[in-house]
Structure 1
């Protein structure tokens, strides 16, 4: 299955009571596909505030996104957690709704061994028939899915890709050693072009909420062999890609990108506790990036 090169890890729009705003969710899906050139959408990933969404909300979001996208893109459901049994349950429910694929984050907090990671992902993949994408983000989970473990998991027929936030050395090892057809996506916006250069397939992105058209242009230039122009676009949008994760006081994602969307007139509301909205100072910094 081809998910495209540019995938948005979509924020979850909330109303003033921090409940899902379904009207704005529909508007955001259209905006990400039509105005920001994203090829697919991840629903209820980290950027979608998955830790504070209930299971019912997640399933409602998956169903809504499938209906709203109406075949215009692939819908990838974030169903991973640090509880294998619950991940299997949620993955099966998402599959019943008709999502195209699953995004499975590495188990956080309980920090399993590499064999534990392998058995966790294997159990989830074998419980469904749709494609599964691994998600390696050690800064949030406390555990790295080693290259050898990812390569081993790539042999499981429906584990078809990874979103990896590791360094270029690890990503290079995965690209060269994984099963034929296994796709490697950067999980770090600033690494999109370097990952392409070592054989990666694309990016699962936060910044594509606001610079998606430019990111798609960068990717297309690289694929067409115009590396000089790709590097030029990368340099132009690098402050935005980096700045959304380097605001004053290190305000965590997705507060900065939600502020950026709201400031552009795409109303997505605030964030749920324990996250906090961007402060005035942080907002001025984000505004300076967008200019």
Structure 2
């Protein structure tokens, strides 16, 4: 399955009491579709998955699937560090009609590479829909090595990987050994163009919440062979890419959405609101990009 080149890891909108606000979810989904998102990832890290309950996640999956109504793909974040729980959760998400699953590497318990392989294999083989690996050593404390990802790529419904290792040697090894139809996505906005230049297919983005049209233009320019334009746009966008991570994600992207009239509320503890100075810095960087558009 082709999830497109601009997947967005959607924030989870909250009301004043920090409960999920489904009206705000509707508005955000429409905004993402209108600005170029090809797949919405629900309940990933950017969606504050660690502080969403099991039932809240299922309600989100169902709601977004119904709201999207086939216009773009919907991927559910169902991975965890408990294989049995991930299997059950993935099956529940599949039953709700999601198009695919995002499976993060097991965090905290630090399995071996064989343990990682068996974990992902077990989950993928418990469902029929496509699965995307998610390697983010900075958050999980474990790296899913290229050799392990390539073993997993042989499983028919493991169709892609979201690579957030930042290790270009590893990424090249994956790209050079991957079977046809296995896609590598950047997990970092600022590495979108560099990774596409060595063969990655696209990005699972945070910044697309606020610069989706500009990112679409950059990706299209690269795909169409207009490298100079892609480089120009990447240079313009990089301050925004980096600005959104001046403090823990998704604090600043939620604040940035608010400045564009898309209200998504605050963040749940243990995350806290960003300092006003950081919000102003992001607003300044966004304005510079929008003024050039």
1:71-112 per-residue CA deviation (whole Å, 9 max, x = no partner) reads: 110000000001001000100000000100000000001111
How far the C-alpha of 1:243 sits from its partner, in A, is 1.3
Q: Which runs of 5+ in 1 are unaligned?
A: none
How many residue pairs end up in the alignment?
286
Q: Give the whole-Å Cα distance in 1 for the aligned partners of 2:5 and 2:276.
A: 34
- Counterpart in 2 of 1:254? 250
- Counterpart in 2 of 1:225? 225
Q: Give the whole-Å Cα distance in 2 for the aligned partners of 1:252 and 1:150.
A: 28
Q: Which structure 2 residues correspond to residues 178-217 of structure 1 after superposition, within 5 A?
A: 178-217=178-217
- Counterpart in 2 of 1:59? 58
Q: Which runs of 5+ in 2 are unaligned?
A: 288-293
- Counterpart in 1 of 2:129? 130
- Conserved 8 A contact 1:6-1:204: yes
- Counterpart in 2 of 1:142? 141
> Runs of 4 or more off by more than 3 Å in structure 1?
none
Q: Which structure 2 residues correspond to residues 78-117 of structure 1 after superposition, within 5 A?
A: 78-117=77-116
SS in 2 for 1:104: strand
Q: Give the whole-Å Cα distance in 1 for the aligned partners of 2:231 and 2:277.
A: 31
Q: Give the whole-Å Cα distance in 2 for the aligned partners of 1:74 and 1:84.
A: 25
Q: Which structure 2 residues correspond to residues 30-49 of structure 1 after superposition, within 5 A?
A: 30-34=30-34, 36-49=35-48
Q: Give the whole-Å Cα distance in 2 for the aligned partners of 1:168 and 1:257.
A: 26
- Counterpart in 2 of 1:283? 279
Q: Give the whole-Å Cα distance in 2 for the aligned partners of 1:139 and 1:243.
A: 18
Q: Give the whole-Å Cα distance in 1 for the aligned partners of 2:199 and 2:109.
A: 32
Q: Give the whole-Å Cα distance in 1 for the aligned partners of 2:68 and 2:278.
A: 33
Q: Give the whole-Å Cα distance in 1 for the aligned partners of 2:49 and 2:151.
A: 27
Could you tell me the TM-score, scaled by structure 2's length? 0.97
Could you tell me the TM-score, scaled by structure 1's length? 0.97
| Root-mean-square deviation over aligned CA pairs | 0.7
